[in-house]
Amino acid sequence: MILASNSKRRQEILKDAGFNFKIITSDIEEISDKKIITEKILDIAEEKLEQIAKDNKNEFILAADTVVELNGKITLGKNAKSSIGAWVGDTEQKLDAGKLNGKDETDRRLKRSGDITAKENSIIEVGGENNFGFVVNNSAHSSEFEKSKSDKVSFTKDEYEMYQRYIAGKSTAVDKAHASYKEITKIDNLIYKTDKVNHGRGINKGKITVTGSSSVGFAMVKGGNSENTDKGIISVGNTAKKSIAFYGEQDKFTNKGKIEATANTDSGNENTAVYLNGKNDNKIHFINEGDISLKEKTAGSGAKDNVAIYAQGKYHFEHNKGAINVAASGVGLYLKGDKGGIADIASTIKLKDNTSSSTTIGVYSDGDAKVNFKHGSKLEIGKGGIGLYSANAAKFNNTFTIENKLKTILGENSTLAYLKGDNTKTTNVGDFLNKIDLETDMGKNSNLVYATDGAKAILDKDTTITQGGVESTAVLSANNGSTVEVAKDKELKTNTHTALLANKATASNEGDINSTREKGIGIYAVNSKE
């Protein structure tokens, strides 16, 4: 009997049952288009059987296959440390000398990467310290032997019998000499490649929950295209501290379900929903088609210093569907771009109302990170929030670009664009404001652009604002030594309560300010120059 497997467990089972057998492994690419798992396993096993049977026609052959699926519960308890619930990695087997991708090679290795699917009923609980629930860390290996090639050979009855005796090892010298002439020529050529579409994938359809400290729910270190499906949930729970729901370094990951982090407001113990840390030229590519949320621990507790999405290094973040939800005092996207990081936004970012002294921020950029608002983008800024914040005011227009229109809702005491520092350079905001589509009236005491600590905001294009009709609204506001200005020959037509507002700052009109409301104010200055 032939066992078509290197599995130590299968060998033990057969030995214990009293079977005598030899081991011959197949080298097919283990891919099946079957959808039902039992059919997929059977399909791959049959392919293994067929390959080995070609050269062993008079032998009994046992072939099997294993596909890893999680359908139960894995618990890393409170005492667990530096442990992993599920790991998608690599395997390697040394082969005899032969052809590798068409060339003679003495050191050939059969390299393969696995796949793991956590099914809908699966649960991975990550407690303890420095633990990982689900890890993808592999090279997406794919290995298969090139299919046999031959000339079409016809046998007479006698010749065929000679051939059968020959391959069965029972031929005479005459049989062997004759049959060798008729034998099908085989090509021993190992085809090796990487295949990120079919190999090395981690798929979550179940629930992964982090309850411990300094731990990660799902880590995409490197590997095949992985996914959190529409049924999948990856979350950081109420008791967690310094933990991350999803962590990525390179390759592609798609979220179609929910990724959530519950805020921990104890200083130094903050949590993050998505952490992108692009360390390699093969940047981490994160595609969001579901919901990413930063949640409060308890009602009214806020999310100070906690972040929904943090990104640095080489990354590409795409927000295509669903919503990014940000609790009060938290940050939606905190982006660093000194290594070429890019964020493309084509769906909703929603900031919840905030009544605390801390500020909720939609998108924060270090001034180098690029943020492109594409068709379908929407920014909902709740009470007391800031929509867009660039740490380098002079780079604001390079940081934030709007492809067509950015749909915007601006709540009470909120600001759409926040500019801070550097009075040696100006920030032109005309193009930016003309691409803002206010869906509702601006909230009371809200501003479209707020300049502080020396920043200088210039309205350099004709601009019309029609959604500013409530109390104490302004187009441009300046504070603490900053400057706001309507440029020469440009018109600001607005129904806001105030066009330009300055507090211990400078407001300047070199063009035309046209107020379209009763009791409107062109320039309002407090302890300021106008």
| List of residues 6+ apart from 28 with CB closer than 8 A | 44, 47, 48, 51, 144, 145
Neighbours of 127 (CB within 10 A): 21
Residue reference for tokens 């078509």: 4
Say which DSSP state 392 is in.
S
User: Do 217 and 248 contact (CB within 8 A), yes or no?
Assistant: no
| List of residues 6+ apart from 55 with CB closer than 8 A | 167
Output the CA–CA distances (angstroms, integers) from residue 398 to 195, 419, 428, in the order listed.
Answer: 36, 13, 11
Tell me the H-state helices in 321-393.
Answer: none
Angle (deg, nearest 10), helices 157-167 and 173-182: 100
**Is domain 72-90+105-149+186-374 annotated with CATH 3.40.1090?**
no
The whole-angstrom separation of Cα 473 and Cα 494 is: 10
User: Do 126 and 215 contact (CB within 8 A), yes or no?
Assistant: yes
Q: How many CA atoms lie within 13 A of 91 on its CB side?
A: 12
Per-residue pLDDT of the chain (530 residues; tens, 9 = 90+): 455 555 554 555 445 545 555 665 555 555 556 554 444 444 555 565 455 555 555 554 444 444 456 778 999 999 999 999 999 999 888 888 888 998 999 998 888 898 999 999 999 999 999 999 999 999 999 988 775 544 445 556 666 676 666 656 666 666 555 544 444 445 468 889 999 999 999 999 999 999 999 999 999 999 999 999 999 999 999 999 999 999 999 999 999 999 999 999 999 999 999 999 999 889 999 999 999 999 999 988 999 999 999 999 999 999 999 999 999 999 999 999 989 899 999 999 999 999 888 899 999 999 999 999 999 999 999 999 999 999 999 999 999 999 999 999 999 999 999 999 877 789 999 999 999 999 999 999 999 999 999 999 999 999 999 999 999 999 999 999 999 999 999 999 999 999 999 999 999 999 999 999 999 999 999 886 66
**What are the domain boundaries of the chain?**
1-66, 72-90+105-149+186-374, 379-530
User: Of the candidates 390, 355, 29, 86, which has an alpha carbon nearest to the alpha carbon of residue 208?
Assistant: 86
pTM: 0.82
Output the CA–CA distances (angstroms, integers) from residue 462 to 234, 429, 455, 489, in the order listed.
Answer: 47, 11, 21, 9
User: Of the candidates 62, 65, 66, which has an alpha carbon nearest to the alpha carbon of residue 4?
Assistant: 62
The whole-angstrom separation of Cα 360 and Cα 414 is: 9
The whole-angstrom separation of Cα 300 and Cα 307 is: 17
Say which DSSP state 179 is in.
H
Residue reference for tokens 């927000």: 319
